[in-house]
Structure 1
Amino acid sequence: MGQPVPVSVVALDPVLEAGTTSTLAACPDVDVTVSGERPRVVVMIVDRFARAELDMLHAARDTDARPAVVLVASELTAAEALHALAAGARGLLRRRDADGSRLARAVCAAARGDCTVPPDLLDQLLEHSAAAARTPGEAPGPWAAAGLSDRERDVLRMVADGHETSEIARCLAYSQRTVTTIVHDITQRFRLRNRAHAVAYALRAGLL
């Protein structure tokens, strides 16, 4: 067995944070860090993965150490899982399954660069990926699951292909202002920095 993985815990609920910290402290494969130390993995405990939690994940990742993040949620839909993975999460667990041993395994996997996803949730993600090739009129694919409309999908795909705003507007018969608004709405909704980040987000989520 190698050196224990330095890990820290963050949560919006201090009781959950304290409980998870205590659970991990009893696991020999991990070492809970103290304030000021740099963790290799951050365990993030949430109820659902919405805007506040997305901001929290970005804050955990945007440090000099760039730690991996294991997200533990009460419930996770396929769309929420897509957002979490695209934002940099390296592990997904439901709280009911996150006992000490499973949580420690997910932390160690994240430290190695591997990704842990519950089997049933992985099946849903694979189904969404397979749906990407479906023709219009069939069941919605991952774009719809991620909360993107057909119009937003079309614009973002053209952005990914390197087209300028004027070219996208001309091709899709929109005004340039409409195209700009669509891109702005996408970046604001998913807390993205710019057009390039929006494309990278979609690629990492398997949506392009």
Structure 2
Amino acid sequence: MDNPLSVSVLALDPVLDAGAKSSLYGSPEITMVLPHEPAKVAVVVADRVDGQVLELVRTTRSAAYGPEVVLVATELAPDEARRAIALGARGLLRRREASADRLVRTVTTAADGDCTLPTDLLGLLLADPLGLPGEPSGRFGPAAPRAWAGPGLTAREAAVLRLVAEGRETSEIAEELCYSVRTVTAVVRDITQRYRLRNRAHAVAYAMRGGLL
């Protein structure tokens, strides 16, 4: 990374704020900025993902400079993950899993427009993407779709998208699935074009919300 990535930390608890900052300060890839300053990524740290935290995710993502949002929480249930993703979160981590290295990787992945989730949580969401009623329109945004009316994903597309959601690089996905890098790139491009999505992160979020996987 040629220039350090600007990152801010937003926490309602000063202890959580200090812990997240200490994990990020040592990375040469990152430069810390104040919460009110423009940042490429904002890390929201919380104990529980309640309405106040979800509102913080929403308002942070919709700020004028539009930072990507990484949410780190002590507890993170599937329904909370769905809501956070619907509001624009691009990375989700549980605090017990947020080592300095993993937090930095999640932040840099979010900055690249990709989405990272804990593997076990991703599995639960993919197994039951429509387990909850759609969110009502209002302060937390429009309702999530109950189902997608268009064609589903092929087995190859689903496999690639699962690894994208884990934050894997294109080369890593190609190696694990025994595909060429060109094939993986083409698969992701086909998904985003078919569903008119903005990028890989949007594809992951849309698939989980719409039951495509």
Fold shared per TM-score above 0.5 = yes
**Is 1:26 matched up with 2:26?**
yes
2-structure distance, mates of 1:202, 1:81: 18
> How much has 1:49 moved relative to structure 2?
1.5
> How much has 1:123 moved relative to structure 2?
0.5
1:78: which partner in 2? 78
Instruction: Report if aligned partners of 1:87, 1:201 keep a CA contact under 8 Å in 2.
Output: no
What SS class does the counterpart of residue 206 from structure 1 fall into?
helix
**Is 1:8 matched up with 2:42?**
no
Q: Kindly tell me: are residues 101 and 47 of structure 1, through their superposed partners in 2, closer, same or farther at Cα, counting changes over 3 Å?
A: same
1-structure distance, mates of 2:82, 2:56: 16
> How much has 1:19 moved relative to structure 2?
2.1
**Is 1:198 matched up with 2:143?**
yes
What SS class does the counterpart of residue 82 from structure 2 fall into?
helix
1-structure distance, mates of 2:146, 2:21: 31
Taking structure 2 as the reference length, the TM-score comes to 0.65
- Residues 125-144 of structure 1 mapped to structure 2, 5 A cutoff: 125-129=125-129, 142=130
1-structure distance, mates of 2:36, 2:84: 26
Per-residue CA deviation, residues 27-48 of structure 1 (Å, 9 max, x unaligned), is 1111111365310000000112
- Residues 1-208 of structure 1 mapped to structure 2, 5 A cutoff: 1-34=1-34, 36-129=36-129, 142=130, 145-146=131-132, 148=133, 186-188=136-138, 191-192=140-141, 197-198=142-143, 204=206, 206-207=209-210
Per-residue CA deviation, residues 156-201 of structure 1 (Å, 9 max, x unaligned), is xxxxxxxxxxxxxxxxxxxxxxxxxxxxx9224x623xxxx33579
2-structure distance, mates of 1:92, 1:122: 10
2-structure distance, mates of 1:48, 1:125: 19
1-structure distance, mates of 2:41, 2:103: 11
What code does the residue aligned with 1:198 have?
A: A
- What runs of 5+ residues in structure 1 fail to find an aligned partner? 130-141, 154-184
2-structure distance, mates of 1:51, 1:111: 25
Instruction: Report if aligned partners of 2:9, 2:35 keep a CA contact under 8 Å in 1.
Output: no
1-structure distance, mates of 2:99, 2:85: 21
2-structure distance, mates of 1:89, 1:15: 22
> Percent of pairs identical after alignment?
41
1-structure distance, mates of 2:78, 2:23: 27
- What runs of 5+ residues in structure 2 fail to find an aligned partner? 149-205
Give the number of aligned pairs.
Answer: 153
Q: Kindly tell me: are residues 36 and 50 of structure 1, through their superposed partners in 2, closer, same or farther at Cα, counting changes over 3 Å?
A: closer
What code does the residue aligned with 1:20 have?
A: A
Taking structure 1 as the reference length, the TM-score comes to 0.67
What SS class does the counterpart of residue 186 from structure 1 fall into?
coil
User: Which of structures 1 and 2 has the bigger CA Rg?
Assistant: 1
